[in-house]
Amino acid sequence: MKAIILLGAPGAGKGTLAEGVRAATDYIHVSTGDMLRAAVKAGTPTGLEAKSYMEKGELVPDDVILRIVGERLKQGTADDKYMFDGFPRTPEQARALDETLADLGAAVNQVFLLDVPTPVIVSRLSGRRICRNCGAVYHLVNIPPKVAGVCDQCGGTDLYQRPDDSEETVLNRLEVYQRQTASLIDFYEKKGLLVHINAGTTPQEATAEMLGKLA
């Protein structure tokens, strides 16, 4: 069993890159959110425990998340390869994941850090626009409407920016990310597992670079 991890700021393209790697390899894309929802839906003991926190609007504790991850991995085989997207988020979670994998005779093999210049991330996230009439999503640079300010789908002219996508909010999210993950990046760097990927390029180029660096 092998495991790799994708780390990157909001807007770095973790989901897109993970999908590209999954399509080109036999890695299984692991989403802790999907695992959590599946465990709740299945009514497993751990899922029911997680549900009790979710119903109260509380964060599901690390130990519950790790149990759900462990239960999912135990369903696989010794030949499976897993790709974690955006998890773990802290050194504490990373150590717990190491223990969970060790119990299965596995370990984290590589940790890919998606490097993207701040101006590129700001452009990616702050360029999003949504049609207030029909909900169609555009991007001023990547997916602009055919006619500026006019929705391709319904002809509406009210294309707005969500508060979460404003430049000020994006910069704040990046600051929080950097503050929260600096110690995690350092943790994996000291273990010699960190691999840098230039994700400020196109999704195709970033995917090709990561595939070339997969051990």
* DSSP secondary structure, 16-69, as one string: HHHHHHHHHSSEEEE-HHHHHHHHHHHT-HHHHHHHHHHHTTPPPPHHHHHHHH
Question: Six-digit token pair at 96?
Answer: 């717990």
Q: Is 73 exposed, middle or buried (0-12, 13-18, 19+ CB in 10 A)?
A: buried
Sign of CA dihedral 77, 82, 87, 92: positive
Query: Which residue bears the tokens 């949504």?
Result: 130
| Encoded amino acid at 151, one letter | C
b/e string for 189-207 if b means 16 or more Cβ within 10 A? eeeebbbebebbeeeeebb
4: alpha, beta or left? (left if phi > 0; alpha if psi -120 to 50): beta
Among 210, 23, 31, 180, CA closest to 115 = 210
State the catalytic residues. 14, 89, 128, 162, 173
- Within 8 A by CB and 6+ apart from 203, the residues are 13, 16, 17, 20
Q: What is the DSSP letter of 143?
A: B
